Amino acid sequence: MTKKYKVVQRFKEVKHDGHIYKVNDYYPVKGKRATKARIAQLLTTNNKEKQVFIVEVGDEVDDD
């Protein structure tokens, strides 16, 4: 089980072959992984766009 995140601002994830994440999508998309550093960037304004892109979902979700 891993933590999941929900997208709150549409963005193109260069780390996932240019995948477009839309509002209410889960991050990362099935079959992809994200580093703790990348998640921290997307959870805060500490990124190139200075915007929050994802929020943590309350509970952990199965990877299946």
Is-contact 59 5, C-beta < 8 A?
A: no
Q: Does residue 5 have a pLDDT over 60?
A: yes
Boundaries of every domain in the chain:
5-56
pLDDT at 61: 55
Tens of pLDDT, residues 41-57: 999 999 999 999 999 99
Rg of the chain in Å (alpha carbons)? 11
pLDDT at 4: 87
Which class for 49: exposed (0-12), middle (13-18), buried (19 or more C-beta within 10 A)?
exposed
pLDDT at 21: 98
Q: How far apart are CA 27 and CA 5, in angstroms?
A: 5
Tens of pLDDT, residues 17-42: 999 999 999 999 989 999 999 999 99
Region of residue 50 (left: phi > 0; alpha: psi -120 to 50; beta: else)? left
pLDDT at 62: 55
